[in-house]
Amino acid sequence: MPYETASVSERRTLPPAVAVSTVAFALNPPDGALIGEAAASPDAGADARITLWLPLVRRTRAPFLGRWALPGGPTRWDETLADTALRTLHAAVRRDPGYLEQLYSFGGVERSAEAQRLVTIAYWALYGERELLASPLPAAGTAERGQDRGRARRWDDPEPAETAAESGDRPGTQGATAPGDPDPNVAWFSADRLPELAFDHAEIVAYALARLRSKTEYEAVAHRFLGPVFTLGRLRAVTEAVLGETVDPANFRRQALAQGHLVDTGETETGTRHRPARLYRFREDPPTRPPGHPGRPAAPHDPAPRSAV
């Protein structure tokens, strides 16, 4: 095992470690999840405006011991970078996101001062209501992700560990917490009020936020925060929350429908104290539009290898 036995000075000559970190947004923390900082329950706050939340993981190792960090970890030899993002995200959140896209790669030499060089490929992800409502806690002993089991080494044994709670495996498997209890080293924070983050993760979060906003402006992503069916009013509320500004309902409706992605389900909302709204579903490929419209002229920047999970 040459890697583990190398001294710190020898590690300087080793190839850099490759890790993946993910900024995962959701409109609300999932039920039962720990809430960071403000300590108030998500709905208890005086203002009912929608805000973005994201999960963080507390580091249990140096450097940045005790600090909050993005979920992530090193990539394994037989898994793609996206797979690493999904695996480490699932280890922290216990759910798979509805959307995942590569963000940027950070490889500055200042990232790990004395230890081995660390290159981080950052991803960003979205959790929709569908994903967050799914039952998060499988019965004890159920191996839902086989490759998570039976590995001998914790990934953060060597010095340049990134986050921490990936070490937690499934709650209960290590006996540290009772089955069903949330991992105490994972909590959700409002994107507005994040704690001090480890490494350069604050920069990564800021970049992911900018990416989410810009993508919301020219491409349909807001619907991924919601469930399979939704009203236009809800979609607009999400868009406003992401963009941080109000949007004219009439114009928003026209633009959204003109995209061709929204399919009227024929059903309507019930139980509101106002006129019930139509429910729409999202269709991936817009129908062929009337001749003369060659469809969207391709997004300004479409990352080629993208994956909608």
Partner DNA sequence: AGAATAGTGTCTTTTAGACAGTATAGG
Partner DNA sequence: CCTATACTGTCTAAAAGACACTATTCT
Question: Which structure tokens are listed for 63?
Answer: 């450097």
* Binds 233: which of DNA, a second copy, none (CB < 5-8 Å by kind): DNA
Q: For residue 307, give the DSSP letter.
A: B
Residue-wise over 20-42: b if at least 16 C-beta within 10 A, else e? bbbbbbbbbbbeebbbbeeeeeb
Least CB distance to a second copy at residue 122 (A): 9
Asked if 291 touches DNA (CB under 7 A), the answer is: no
* Binds 232: which of DNA, a second copy, none (CB < 5-8 Å by kind): DNA
Asked if 281 touches DNA (CB under 7 A), the answer is: no
Three-class SS of residue 92? Answer: helix
Question: Which position among 34, 35, 50, 81 is part of the footprint of a second copy (CB under 8 A)?
Answer: 81
Give residues 231-250 in contact with a second copy (rule: CB under 8 A).
none
Report the first-to-last Cα separation within the chain, whole angstroms: 35
Least CB distance to DNA at residue 292 (A): 7
Question: Which position among 28, 177, 231, 307 is part of the footprint of DNA (CB under 7 A)?
Answer: 231
Question: Is the distance from CB of 261 to CB of 220 less than 8 angstroms?
Answer: yes
Q: Would you say 255 or 268 has its CB closer to a second copy?
A: 255
Residue type at 155 in one-letter notation: W
Bridge pairing between strands 278-282 and 262-268: antiparallel
Question: Which position among 28, 50, 63, 104 is part of the footprint of a second copy (CB under 8 A)?
Answer: 104
Residue of 29, 3, 20 lying closest to 186 (CA atoms): 29
Phi, psi of 54 (to 5 degrees): -150, 150
Question: Which position among 37, 96, 203, 240 is part of the footprint of a second copy (CB under 8 A)?
Answer: 203
Give residues 36-65 in contact with a second copy (rule: CB under 8 A).
none
* Binds 248: which of DNA, a second copy, none (CB < 5-8 Å by kind): DNA
Number of residues forming the site for DNA (CB under 7 A): 22
Full strand arrangement of the beta sheet holding 229-230: 229-230, 278-282, 262-268
Three-class SS of residue 154? Answer: coil
Least CB distance to DNA at residue 265 (A): 11
* Binds 305: which of a second copy, DNA, none (CB < 5-8 Å by kind): a second copy
Task: Report the DSSP beta bridge partners of residue 121.
Answer: 20, 105
Binding site for a second copy (CB under 8 A): 1-3, 5-6, 10, 12-18, 74-75, 77-81, 102, 104-109, 116-117, 119, 121, 203, 206-207, 210-211, 214-215, 217-218, 297-305
